[in-house]
Amino acid sequence: MDNFHKRFRNFNNFITSKFVFLNGILSIIVLGLILAFLIYNSLKFFTAYPIFDFLGGREWLPGSDTPKFGLLPLLVGSAIVSFGAIIIAVPLGVGAAIYIGELAPQPLREILKPVIEVLASIPSVVIGFIGMTLLSDFVKNLFDLSTGLTALTGSIMLAFMSLPTIVSISEDAIHAVPDRYRFASIALGADRWQTTYKTVVPAASSGIIAAIMLGLGRVIGETMTVLMVTGNSPRLVFSWLQPVRTITATIAAEMGETVQGGLHYSALFAIGLILFLITFCVNLTADRFVNRIREMG
Amino acid sequence: MRKRIFIQKFFYILLLLTTFIVVIFVFGIIIYLIVKGGKAISWEFLSEKPSNGMREGGILPAIIGTLYLVLGTLIFSLPIGIFSAIYLNEYANKNRLTRVIRLSIVNMAGVPSVIFGLFGLGFFVIFLGLGRSIISGSLTLALLILPIVITSAEEALKNVPDTYRNASLALGATKWQTITRIILPQALPGIITGAVLGIGRAAGETAPILFTVAVFYQPNLPKSIFNQAMALPYHLFALITQVADAPEDKKWGTALVLLILVLFFSVIAAVIRTRLRMKKRVRL
């Protein structure tokens, strides 16, 4: 009996550990499945459409009689909007992180961080709606344009959407810099500002770069806001003051009107695959820098 | 010396200004929505179906649909998230596999939501044949928030002191008994916090539900998990982009209801977290 009991317990332990293991590796499975399904569904497109016309194509005309699926207008659209967003978000985000992490008194710090993190929970459709109604008129009048739905409008809204990530992670990194760095700097005769920008910020730079990369990942992948505020025009332009269309917005806007299993449908999975690979690289790079902070600490 | 003080002042003010801009933006959005949307919100708006091609009536089906989705997301993501965290914190060795798992979690958190939408369409809707339905949408959203749930559950498990584990094992309990009866109850508030934060995110997402569940208009409330459903974020999107001359106050009202719902989850999470912190302080 005792023996049976023991064996039952061993068996039980075995089953539970296998079950838990299966859950543990689920994230690998899911990530693998996502990649597999993106490839599987885009196979039809890659076999039917010449790859160089896709990667080097300057026109995205899925609805015409001879449909054209050129990636460039969408890729450039994504790049312009994301680049603009990061240019705006980095000074604001890193500035705010330095203020909150180094200069703000403790009670203010405890309030400011959650307030900025609230921004992360505002749904992207709501941000997009605000951008469409308030910001687009402002942009239109400021630059005297025919429409305010431009790449710049998207960049500004996306910059604010990436701020919670950038501020929060940069601030963590700044806060994690050991106090002895500061004391040493001040003991050598530096004032507080010199200590901040010559000692603390360089020491936290891995974390700040990781924060920027993660913010960039969020910006590239944002869908609804850019769909609403960038004007939805899949033409190849190199200007912040014209309507553009990003990869994400194209998928969201066109998937509803495709025939399941058709060429257009498959093409949207193909640009999804490109998007997945881009964000994957950005996230891997970010992870490199995150690990570097851990090694330092 | 005076120059140095001047430089310091200058940069301090500049940094304060950047922080100020960010904070103003957050409060600006919330206050603007309250002012604009507050006028639209009435009992009828919350309790009636939309009518006359979305131009009149309320948003009840969209609210109900979002609540269904949120519930479904919780049901799917919470158990998987907890077990996944148990594996990482209680079972996993420090080896290559564990490193790859962590890397996948980080990367999954960075996958754009529209990619989850594509995957949901390809896998749940078509491959598994679940169709455009609440269950497909919930599963898609559950995958989206899984990294948040796993990470916070693991953090909560990590905070349970090892003395608890050792005491339980010394009394003859198996590893599994120790986990389910000792560690999980201790870690539960932290786990719930993460789950609530996650479903707050899920409630506001549009791109993942666009091709997996959302429907423009549905006269009846969904009867089963295999029905399509209306959802608040998609309803707002449809009102803005697809309904010609939709009344402004309906749009702002919908946006405000969505914001309140999402912030409600954040507040719950914050409350649980604060209570947790206070409890810990007392124990120490």
Residue among A113, A88, A117 nearest A101 (CA): A113
Instruction: Report chain B's mean pLDDT, rounded to a whole number.
Output: 90
Specify the pTM: 0.92
Lowest mean pLDDT among A197-206, A224-233, B238-247: B238-247
Q: Which residue in A has a C-alpha nearest to residue B5's C-alpha?
A: A191
Mean pLDDT of A228-235: 89
Q: How far apart are CA B28 and CA B23, in angstroms?
A: 8
Beta bridge partners of A288: none
Q: How far apart are CA A64 and CA A246, in angstroms?
A: 20
A44 has pLDDT over 60: yes
**B180 by DSSP, 3-state: which?**
helix
Give CATH for domain B43-283. 1.10.3720.10
Complex ipTM: 0.92
Chain A closest CA to B185's CA: distance in Å? 18
B281 has pLDDT over 60: no
% of chain B at pLDDT higher than 90: 63
Cβ contacts of B17-24, under 8 Å, gap ≥ 24: B17/A95, B18/A91, B18/A92, B18/A95, B18/A96, B18/A99, B19/A95, B19/A96, B19/A99, B19/A100, B19/A104, B19/A112, B21/A92, B22/A92, B22/A93, B22/A96, B22/A116, B22/A119, B22/A160, B22/A163, B22/A167, B23/A112, B23/A115, B23/A116
The two tokens of residue A237 are: 């332009």
Give me the residue from A24, A95, A283 closest to B107, CB to CB: A283
pLDDT attached to residue B284: 41
pLDDT digits (tens, 9 = 90+) for A61-117: 998 888 999 999 999 999 999 999 999 999 999 999 999 998 888 888 888 888 888
The superfamily in CATH containing domain A74-296 is MetI-like (1.10.3720.10)
Decide: residue A229, CB within 10 A, 0-12 exposed, 13-18 middle, 19+ buried.
Answer: buried
How does residue B274 score in pLDDT terms, banded at 50, 70 and 90? confident
Question: CA B110 → CA A82, A219, B2, B116, B242, distances in Å?
Answer: 15, 10, 47, 11, 30
Q: Which residue in A has a C-alpha nearest to residue B248's C-alpha?
A: A133
Query: Any idea of the CA torsion for A60, A86, A125, B130, to the nearest 10 degrees?
Result: 60
Q: Which residues of A touch B100 (CB under 8 A)?
A: 28
How does residue A251 score in pLDDT terms, banded at 50, 70 and 90? very high
pLDDT attached to residue B114: 96
Instruction: Report chain A's mean pLDDT, rounded to a whole number.
Output: 90
CA triple A219-A222-A228, angle to 5 deg: 120
CA triple B250-B217-A124, angle to 5 deg: 55
The two tokens of residue A22 are: 């299966």
Is A134 within 8 Å of chain B by CB?
Answer: yes
Mean pLDDT of A267-274: 96
A26 has pLDDT over 80: yes
A256: Cβ contacts below 8 Å, ≥ 6 apart: B210, B211
Query: Any idea of the CA torsion for A75, A81, A82, A86, to the nearest 10 degrees?
Result: 160
Is A123 within 8 Å of chain B by CB?
Answer: yes
Is B173 within 8 Å of chain A by CB?
Answer: no
pLDDT digits (tens, 9 = 90+) for B119-175: 999 999 999 999 999 999 999 999 999 999 999 999 999 999 999 999 999 998 988
Quote the DSSP letter at residue B153: H
Give me the residue from B113, B146, B174 closest to A221, CB to CB: B113
Q: How far apart are CA A12 and CA A22, in angstroms?
A: 15
pLDDT attached to residue B93: 86
Chain B closest CA to A59's CA: distance in Å? 22
Domain ranges of chain B: 43-283
pLDDT attached to residue B47: 85
pLDDT attached to residue A291: 78
pLDDT attached to residue A294: 62
Contact B23 A222 (CB under 8 A): no
Q: How far apart are CA B20 and CA B241, in angstroms?
A: 32
pLDDT digits (tens, 9 = 90+) for B82-98: 999 999 999 988 889 99
Chain B closest CA to A132's CA: distance in Å? 9
pLDDT digits (tens, 9 = 90+) for A134-189: 999 999 999 988 888 999 999 999 999 999 999 999 999 998 899 999 999 999 99
Domain ranges of chain A: 74-296
Contact B114 A272 (CB under 8 A): yes
Q: How far apart are CA A272 and CA B111, in angstroms?
A: 11
pLDDT attached to residue A72: 94
Contact B15 A275 (CB under 8 A): no
C-beta neighbour count of B283 within 10 angstroms: 7
Q: Which residues of A touch B104 (CB under 8 A)?
A: 27-28, 30-31
pLDDT attached to residue A118: 87
Which of 243-282 (B) contact A at CB < 8 A? 251, 255, 258-259, 262-263, 265-266, 270
Which DSSP string do the residues of A47-86 spell out, in sequence order? HHS-HHHHHS---EETTSSS-EE-SHHHHHHHHHHHHHHH
Give me the residue from B30, B91, B104 closest to A20, CB to CB: B91
Across the A:B interface, residue pairs with CB atoms under 8 Å apart total 251
